[in-house]
């Protein structure tokens, strides 16, 4: 393996650092001796049991916490692969359309590889954290006066006619990198779960997990395919509606997509896994966002909470049997778009309490009684 990564001294303590998905799964991905591995150590994310959600539903619920990737979203799994292959093929520049996280990831991996990333984002529609990342990592950031779907059309057009390599999830390397998340789930659970729930925007990740689980079944490592349940925001639900949505509208900016690039692949995956696509209102997305933060201890951006809202909805509908194993992918970190945590369920601003420098006053606010001495 061509590898210029310096090793980290162990000081005699047996230790092993996770090496990123291309090294960890080299034998199962399309890479060779000639592939320069561009990695920031992505993947190896925690699968966290969620007792608060298990208690609510009677299922055994786990959260695959993809906010723990280097740039804070699952996009890094696909980007390590896409940028490595682009560099292998001699690319000096890559381009992508993005609702934010793809641009943050492309910018970080491209700059690590010493090449240029051009990113097209819808003007004024990108969460501040993601915009900051793309700028910090030196991307050529271009705000387009249009929506995500316009940006993707432009990125495809430019990559077809100019020397820039497309790294959106229509690039098969992206999906192949992303399928490693399913491998990791299987490694921990020692089988596939009964259900896997996740957000759907372009449906690349839905497709990637389905592929990963299918490979695991074919290898004989698992006994079943999970039923793949994907969720779109109600104002941006083309797959659920069965037609493109011209002006998709939701607070969940990462899935504000009206014409998903992997639509056909996702329909095939639903068919193969006895899956489901559902729509969730913004109100229920935000309720699930609060539940994840306040009861599970996991902070996500709004789009990432939709799988939890979907679990509650499907559980209520009687579709999730007691004792079923359920994995929910939460796709991006809460620090990317933190403003939603500062609103109450009624939409009011949360106002933290202010006190003087006085322990007794604080004890009063906290309702603490002085301990008897």
Q: Are strands 195-199 and 325-330 parallel, antiparallel or unpaired?
A: parallel
Binding residue numbers for pyridoxal 5'-phosphate: 101, 201-205, 331
Q: Which residues bind ligand PLP (CB under 6 A)?
A: 73, 75, 101, 169, 199-206, 254-255, 301, 303-304, 331-332
CB closer to ligand PLP out of 199 and 212: 199
Q: Residue 65 phi/psi, 5° resolution?
A: -95, 85
Give the Cα separation of 234 and 212 in Å (integer): 28
Shortest CB 58 distance to ligand PLP, Å: 27
CB closer to ligand PLP out of 176 and 304: 304
Binding residue numbers: 101, 201-205, 331
- Count CB neighbours of 345 within 10 A: 9
CB closer to ligand PLP out of 186 and 269: 269
Shortest CB 331 distance to ligand PLP, Å: 3
Shortest CB 5 distance to ligand PLP, Å: 26
Q: Which helix (H) or strand (E) holds 329?
A: strand 325-330
Shortest CB 105 distance to ligand PLP, Å: 9
CB closer to ligand PLP out of 200 and 324: 200
Burial 279-290 (b: 16+ CB within 10 A, else e): bbebebbbbbbe
CB closer to ligand PLP out of 35 and 273: 273
Which of 287, 301, 262, 265 lies closest to 66 in space, CA to CA?
Answer: 301
- Count CB neighbours of 116 within 10 A: 17
Q: Which residue is nearest to ligand PLP (CB)?
A: 332
Q: Residue 369 phi/psi, 5° resolution?
A: -95, 140
Burial 122-148 (b: 16+ CB within 10 A, else e): beebbbebbbebbeebebebeebeebb
């Amino acid at each position: 393996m061509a590898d210029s990564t310096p090793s980290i001294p162990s000081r005699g303590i047996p230790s092993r650092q996770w090496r990123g998905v291309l090294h960890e799964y080299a034998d199962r991905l399309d890479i060779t001796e000639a592939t320069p591995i561009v990695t920031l150590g992505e993947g190896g994310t925690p699968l966290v049991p969620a007792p608060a959600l298990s208690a609510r539903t009677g299922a055994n619920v786990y959260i695959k916490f993809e906010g723990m990737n280097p740039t804070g979203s699952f996009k890094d799994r696909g980007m390590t692969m896409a940028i490595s292959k682009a560099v292998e093929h001699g690319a000096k520049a890559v381009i992508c359309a993005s609702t934010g996280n793809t641009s943050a990831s492309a910018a970080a991996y491209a700059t690590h590889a010493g090449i240029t990333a051009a990113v097209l984002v819808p003007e004024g529609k990108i969460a501040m954290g993601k915009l900051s990342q793309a700028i910090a990592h030196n991307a050529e950031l271009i705000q387009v006066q249009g929506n995500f779907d316009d940006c993707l059309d432009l990125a495809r057009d430019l990559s077809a006619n100019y020397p820039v390599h497309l790294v959106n999830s229509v690039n098969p390397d992206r999906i192949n990198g992303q399928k490693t998340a399913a491998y990791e789930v299987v490694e921990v659970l020692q089988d596939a779960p009964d259900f896997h729930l996740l957000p759907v925007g372009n449906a690349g990740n839905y497709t990637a997990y389905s592929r990963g689980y299918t490979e695991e079944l074919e290898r004989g490592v698992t006994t079943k395919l999970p039923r793949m349940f994907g969720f779109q925001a109600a104002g941006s639900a083309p797959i659920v509606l069965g037609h493109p949505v011209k002006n998709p509208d939701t607070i969940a900016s990462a899935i504000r997509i009206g014409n998903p690039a992997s639509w056909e692949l996702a329909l095939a995956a639903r068919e193969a896994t006895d899956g489901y696509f559902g729509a969730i209102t913004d109100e229920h997305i935000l309720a699930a966002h609060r539940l994840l933060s306040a009861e599970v201890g996991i902070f996500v951006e709004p789009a990432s909470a939709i799988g939890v809202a979907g679990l509650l909805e499907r559980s209520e509908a009687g579709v999730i049997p007691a004792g079923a194993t359920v994995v929910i992918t939460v796709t991006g970190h809460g620090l990317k778009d933190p403003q939603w945590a500062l609103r109450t369920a009624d939409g009011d601003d949360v106002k933290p309490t202010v006190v003087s420098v006085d322990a007794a006053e604080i004890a009063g606010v906290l309702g603490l009684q002085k301990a008897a001495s």
